Amino acid sequence: ILGLIAGIIVLAAPFESLEILALIAGIWLVAMGLLEIVYSFSIKKASGN
């Protein structure tokens, strides 16, 4: 159902949808990068090095 709704929205406003999708993907990638940095420090601290 969500895919159908998303498809209708993309057909109705393709450029705005692309802009929002790029923004969401960018925020997601930055968040994942920050989490990987935090996890790397916690693993290093737990290993004692």
Total Cβ atoms within 10 A of residue 9: 13
Res 9: pLDDT = 87
Q: Where are the domains of the chain?
A: 2-47
pLDDT tens figures, 4-35 = 988 898 899 989 989 998 999 999 999 999 99
Q: Using CA atoms, how far apart are residues 5 and 14, in angstroms rounded to an integer?
A: 13
Q: Is the pTM of this model over 0.75?
A: no
Total Cβ atoms within 10 A of residue 20: 13
